[in-house]
Structure 1
Amino acid sequence: MWFKNLIFYRYTESTDYTQDQLETAFAEHLFTPCKSQELSRYGWVPPHSALDQQTIFSSGGGFLITAQKEEKMLPANVIKRLLNERVSQIESEQARKVYRKEKLQLKDEIVIDLLPRAFSKFQQTSALLLPREGLIVVDSANHKRAEELLNLLRNSLGTLPIILPDVHQSPAVVMSEWLRQTKTAIGFTPKDECEMKDPTDEGGTIRVKGDDLHSDEMIAHLDTGKQVVKLALEWDETLSFMLQDDLSIKRVKLSDELSETLNQESSEDPLVRLDSDTARLALECQRLYPQLMDAFGGEVQR
């Protein structure tokens, strides 16, 4: 089990807890399905189907956790159609105008009527807690989903002193210079994909894939003021990914060598494989994070 995305968070205080402490803290916030009149539910689930009721998996000095969200699917166009029908009926039968406040009340009634028949959408988000390194790594493509998991973690633990990391040099400026100078930080190698954006509100966006990122055409875009906000990179011949200017990482892929190593270590026992994958994920995150910070002038200490 490998993360497809990486959003790093830094603890602002020293934190130390055991698996048993986490299991106890999570017990009051386990996922349970939506009741008939509920729109959504969110809670902890086992990070692997083979773990039964265990909500924490410990390996490599890290704790793997997973939250699950259930949302009832109520199409907006269906609600709108039923609302229009009900408004038309009232206005026709009672010869009066239905105003906004009453429409909102009618809409709530329609939602309540539809909820018992609505389909559910389930979505899981995982994270790796690395308390000894002072890090939390969330597997999410956007910060909103990551914050949902972190809020649940905060409610479970009672406190969660974390921040997003900050660096001394602008990632967009530095990544732009990597293309201009054909020289990057040690360990990082640009691939053939990037996104450039003009920092002004009126500026446009250019997406490039499969072309030479160091060509005269690319440099010309940089000369007009555009900056690299997303850049495909290979790191240490271990991982490839898309790095964004907010330091979040998407589309993580393992190198052939690392994939082969993990396959050699694999077992038919799913928990043995999970242990191997989680330990290696923890190791690579511990190595990647400081190098990522150093590439942009070092982490701002707060």
Structure 2
Amino acid sequence: MWFKNILLYRFTQAIPFSLDELIAALQQKPARECASQETHTLGWTTPFGRHSVNLVQVAAGFWLVAMQKEERILPGHVVKDALDAKIADIEERDARKVYKKERDTLKDEIVMQLLPRAFTRTQTTFALISATDGWIAVDTSTWKRAEDLLSLLRECTGTLPVRPMNVKAPPATSMTQWVKDNQAPASLQIGDNCELTDTSEDGGQVRCKHQDLGSDEIQLHLSAGKQVTQLDLRWGDKLNFMLTDRMVIKRLRFDALVIDEANDQAGDDMASELDASLTIMGGTLQQFIPALCNALGGEDQPAGI
């Protein structure tokens, strides 16, 4: 239930659908298994799994949705081995060379032959929509997975006016200054892990784990021109996370006190426990997101928002 990563998106205008309209839209594209010749399928599933029947879980003004992706696993080396054997057979039988166009055709044919026998795997990606605040938080650190979810949501609703949430100060610039000063803004505390990147064209990276980031060694790297591109941070007594220079929140961990608060509010069944967790998680993020943006110079919002 608790998000592990976050990619943030801001609605660029008023949310163009109501809760009822969103529920109806998601019902158009339920999750399903791959057909024999499909490489993958995308659809919506219940965020609480077997503990609910709703495609949108609602709590305290937050809407939680879950995209399920089923894909067939066809290892590249399996396709390559089959293709190499096919090409060798043709070249030996016909005494001729197989060139790229024919090779690509043969590869497609082999993939279609192997797909029905391939194993499948399922991934679920969650997104939290705050209708009040006008943002979407997707539980992933991968832009591709987030875009898959947003594209499917846009396909179902007909429109989804969002863009990645931007801040006025580049995160790398802010994080570098925090480590130089050995102090982050009041709501944040610096951890002991970071990634330093040389800004030159052929620059390298230095990953620092469990180190005092105020040490002379780290400061020497910074004085040589390296920038902090990933940094472990703590927000108050509620969250630990790693922030990247692309405004990706990774390795998100909610403090035990936050989880205990959710447990205290939960009832005796799993559904009520998940509902309480959603309420507390949403409320925590509702406070955390503007605090993080303020620490990075404030959110760079679209005009009219």
Query: What TM-score, normalized by structure 1, do the two folds share?
Result: 0.96
Shift of 1:51: 4.3
Aligned to 2:26: 26
The equivalences for 1:157-168 within 5 A come to: 157-168=157-168
- Alpha-carbon distance between aligned partners in 2 of 1:20 and 1:130, rounded to the nearest angstrom: 15
- What are the superposed Cα offsets for residues 33-90 of structure 1, whole Å, 9 maximum, x if unpaired? 1111111111111111234542110011010000011111111111111111111111
- Alpha-carbon distance between aligned partners in 2 of 1:23 and 1:261, rounded to the nearest angstrom: 29
- Alpha-carbon distance between aligned partners in 1 of 2:256 and 2:278, rounded to the nearest angstrom: 18
Cα RMSD for the two superposed structures: 1.3
Aligned residue for 1:234, secondary structure, equals strand
Shift of 1:261: 2.0
Aligned to 2:286: 286
Aligned to 1:72: 72
- Of 38-47 and 262-271, more deviation after overlay is shown by 262-271
- Alpha-carbon distance between aligned partners in 2 of 1:272 and 1:18, rounded to the nearest angstrom: 24
Aligned to 1:201: 201
Aligned residue for 1:28, secondary structure, equals coil
Q: Give the aligned length.
A: 302
Aligned to 2:252: 252
- Alpha-carbon distance between aligned partners in 2 of 1:159 and 1:171, rounded to the nearest angstrom: 30
Shift of 1:299: 1.4
- Alpha-carbon distance between aligned partners in 2 of 1:128 and 1:114, rounded to the nearest angstrom: 37
- Alpha-carbon distance between aligned partners in 1 of 2:172 and 2:52, rounded to the nearest angstrom: 44
Amino acid in structure 2 at the alignment position of 1:186: A
Aligned to 1:297: 297
Amino acid in structure 1 at the alignment position of 2:24: T
Amino acid in structure 2 at the alignment position of 1:201: E
Q: Percent identity?
A: 39
Aligned residue for 1:32, secondary structure, equals coil
- Alpha-carbon distance between aligned partners in 1 of 2:263 and 2:51, rounded to the nearest angstrom: 21
Shift of 1:16: 5.8
Does structure 2 conserve the Cα–Cα contact (< 8 Å) formed by 1:79 and 1:110? yes
Aligned to 1:174: 174
Query: What TM-score, normalized by structure 2, do the two folds share?
Result: 0.96
Q: Could you list the runs of 5+ residues in structure 2 that have no partner in the other structure?
A: none
- Alpha-carbon distance between aligned partners in 2 of 1:67 and 1:136, rounded to the nearest angstrom: 14
Does structure 2 conserve the Cα–Cα contact (< 8 Å) formed by 1:50 and 1:271? no
Shift of 1:259: 2.6
- Alpha-carbon distance between aligned partners in 2 of 1:279 and 1:260, rounded to the nearest angstrom: 13
Q: Could you list the runs of 5+ residues in structure 1 that have no partner in the other structure?
A: none
Shift of 1:168: 1.7
